[in-house]
Structure 1
C-alpha cells in the first residue's frame, strides 16, 4: 500500500522525519495451540519494519554474511532470551538503497502486546531478531515448527498470524532543549469498521506514538529488563556505538541502530492522538483494500490473514 504521507497541521511542528516506511504486525499462538481465541493464547508479538525513504536514500546495515541473514537456510533459534543457534549479533556493515532494495527488520517484543498508547505505562522491551534484504528469510521466521524436547516430548508451534498493516515514521521531536525520537504508525488494515478484537486485546490501536530508546549493549540489564545474552547483543559500528557514552539508552537517531541484529530498545507510550501530540497527521494511501495489501501479497501464503482482514481471532 506504500509509505503514505505526513501532513504538518501546526505552523511550526517541532519534528523532523528521519524515516518513512511500512509496518506489519504479527502474533503467534502458544505452543501446541492451533489458534488463539484471546490474548491468553498468544505466545509472541512480532513487528516488521520496512523502511522505504528517509533522510538518506542509502541506509547502513550489518553485513549480509553475518547474523541470521548469512546463516544456513533452515537454522532457527529460540525467540526467547536463550538462542540455541548461538548466532551472534551482526558484524560488519553494508549499504542498502532502500528505494531500490527491500530492507526488513524482524522485531520481537518482550511482551505480547504494545504499551497502551492512551496511558503513560511502563516501558516495553523488544529486540531486532533479524535484519535482511531477503523476504524469504522473514517468511521462514513466520512459519510454524515441530521439534522434540527431553522433558515435554514432541512440540509444535503454529505459523504466525497477520494482525495489522500500516505506515510508520521514525522522527526527531524537539519540544525543548532535549531531543528524543518517536516511532509513530497508522493502520490501513484491518478496516476500522471491523470488530478489531485481536488488535484491541494486544493494544494495536488504529494509530499510536511511542518514544523509542536504544539500549547500550555495554550496559548491564536491570531486574526489569535483563536483555539478551552477551553473544546475542548488537555489535554497532563505532559511529553509532560512540553516541552512548556512559548512557544506558540513547535516541534512535539515526534509525540505523535498528539495522543490527540484537539491537535492544524500549517503547514508551506517548499518545494515541498523533496530530494533537506532534502536529502531524499520517495519511495512508487509498482504501483499506486487501487487494492492495503489501502484507497479503508478500506474506499471505505464510501467515493467516483472518485477524488482519476481519478483525477476529479466527
Structure 2
C-alpha cells in the first residue's frame, strides 16, 4: 500500500444543528453505508451535556448538509448512546447498529434502514470494558474490535460465531498497543488483506495490517492520515483528522472496501482552539480522498 498518501478535503458536508437541538454543539463519530443509491449516516450528536445519536440521508454526499436530522429516540442505552457502526447481517437480512452506551457494548436492530424510529431499544452485548466498538466478519466468526478503557492504550478484540452474534463473546485479547481509540477494520478487496484504521490521541489516523482477523497486526504507518498530509481545497475547517470511517463497497458485516490506496473517508474535524472540555469541541464532518 502507499506508505504516505496525500489526502484532499473540500467543504464540510455536515455541520452542527441549530440552537436547542440534540446536536447543536457538534456532530461526530460517523458511520455510513450506501443503499440503493442513497447514503445513510448515523452519528454522535452533542449538546451542552449529553451524547446522543442522530441519522441523516441523501443521494449525494454533498446533500448531507441540508438533510433532515433525526434524533434516534427509539434507542435506550441508559445515560448516553453514541459512536455507532451500521451494517446489515446477511444471514438475517437485518440491520444492526453497534454502539457504546450506559450498557457497555450495545446493539439495536431494524428491518428498514430508511426508518430512523424503527430501531429497537438498545440491548447489552455482554461486555463493558471498552468504547468505540467495531464488528467485522471473516465468514465464520464475527470479531469485535474496541478501545480498552483500562489506561493501557491498547485495542482489544472479542469473537463469536456468526450464528451466536451478538452474544457469546470470547474473552478479550490485545491486538494493538501504544495506540488510542476508534479502531475501524476493513477487508481490502484489492489485496485480500485486512486494514485497521486507529485514531491516535494526537488526532490523526494510524494504519495497521493483518492477513486474517485472527492474525497478528502490524503497524504500517504512524501517520497514515494526518493534517500534515491533508490538502484543504476550499475552506479551512480542520486542523485534525479525527474519528472517521472509510466508505465501504458493501453493506454487510464483511466490511469490504475496494482499494485502500484509492478510497474516501468521512471524518470529524475542527480548527484547534482552547476548548474547556472535550465534550464541547465543535466537530463537523467532511470527506477526504487519497486520490
TM over 0.5: no
| TM-score w.r.t. length of structure 1 | 0.28
- More strand as a share of residues: 2
From the CA coordinates, give the structure whose radius of gyration is larger.
1
Q: Given the two structures, how large is their TM-score scaled by the length of structure 2?
A: 0.30
Task: Flag the structure with more relative contact order, 1 or 2, with Cα contacts below 8 A and sequence separation at least 6.
Answer: 1
